[in-house]
A and B are shown apart, each in its own frame.
Chain A
Amino acid sequence: MPIIVNLDVVLSKRKMKSNELAEKIGITTANLSILKTGKAKAIRFSTLEAICRELHCQPSDILEYQE
């Protein structure tokens, strides 16, 4: 899929662990792992909003389109 999830990059910039973020945004670490590894088929606006809120970033920092 040409949509790349850069969540691990933003997480390392913020020095935050995956399980910490998962707890803060209210999803399981397994689901966050699916999202991080690019296996997710879709992302809810509510999830994206929670990630951006906790990581103080924009959706474009998380998601990237590559040809």
Chain B
Amino acid sequence: MKNNSNNLKVFGPNSLSKYLFYIFRAISIGFLLFIIYIDLSFLLSNVEIINARYYISLPILGVVAKGDYQTNVIVTITLSMLYGTIFFYVLSNIFKAFVSETVFTESAIKHLRYFSFLNLLVGPLLYLVTHFFIMQHSDYRGIHNPILNIIFGVTALFIVHIFKKGYAIQSDNDLTI
């Protein structure tokens, strides 16, 4: 493809990576604020309970969070949202590393490895713990989530190895005088 300076760059300063970093970091912070607000609402009894269901009105958004008023439901929501917070935080860190002038960096490899680990181990483990142990379900509803996690994880693992090769080639190129 012809290089056009008007096109948005994928890597480097003022690139698509920079905007994706801001988007994913904002989502991560949003998830964290949501957990804090929901859990504080339960702790401070700032929650409306009707027919064993809780209703928490969320400020600014003007929407109501609702669900069964049971400890296992609250713990599951907290753990899932916490996972979402970490997921988007790690994802934002990957794009932050891509903002650098050089694409193949140790930082990018490190964050891609974290993302791979998160998806391959933490995601499926969270599903097992919340679905079968905390919620005591015996069906496989929502099994697509850990499957998607594993697909993301394996893909990220391949990208880690591609980046390792790229880093080695780039290091050699930098030391070519």
By a beta-carbon cutoff of 8 Å, the part of chain A in contact with chain B is 27, 31-32, 34-35, 39-44, 47
Q: Does B177 contact A (CB under 8 A)?
A: yes
User: B157-177 interface mask toward A, CB cutoff 8 Å, 1 = contact, 0 = none?
Assistant: 000000000000001100111
Q: What residues on A are CB-neighbors of B176 within 8 Å?
A: 40-44
What is the minimal beta-carbon distance from A59 to any residue of chain B, in angstroms?
14
**Can you give 23 A-B contacts (C-beta < 8 A)?**
A27-B177, A31-B177, A32-B177, A34-B175, A34-B177, A35-B177, A39-B175, A40-B175, A40-B176, A40-B177, A41-B171, A41-B172, A41-B175, A41-B176, A42-B172, A42-B175, A42-B176, A42-B177, A43-B176, A43-B177, A44-B176, A44-B177, A47-B177
What is the minimal beta-carbon distance from A23 to any residue of chain B, in angstroms?
15
- CA A40 to CA B175, docked complex, whole Å: 5
- CA A44 to CA B171, docked complex, whole Å: 15
Starting from the known contacts A39-B175, A40-B175, 5 additional A-B residue pairs (CB-CB under 8 Å) come to A31-B177, A34-B175, A41-B171, A41-B175, A44-B176
- CA A32 to CA B177, docked complex, whole Å: 8
Interface pairs A-B: 7 shortest CB-CB: A41-B175, A42-B176, A35-B177, A41-B172, A40-B177, A31-B177, A40-B175
What is the minimal beta-carbon distance from A2 to any residue of chain B, in angstroms?
17
- CA A42 to CA B176, docked complex, whole Å: 5
Q: What residues on B are CB-neighbors of A31 within 8 Å?
A: 177
Q: What residues on B are CB-neighbors of A40 within 8 Å?
A: 175-177
What is the minimal beta-carbon distance from B166 to any residue of chain A, in angstroms?
15
What is the minimal beta-carbon distance from B15 to any residue of chain A, in angstroms?
27
Q: What residues on A are CB-neighbors of B177 within 8 Å?
A: 27, 31-32, 34-35, 40, 42-44, 47
Nearest-CB residue, chain A, relative to B174:
A41
Nearest-CB residue, chain B, relative to A33:
B177
What is the minimal beta-carbon distance from B174 to any residue of chain A, in angstroms?
8
- CA A47 to CA B177, docked complex, whole Å: 7
Nearest-CB residue, chain B, relative to A47:
B177
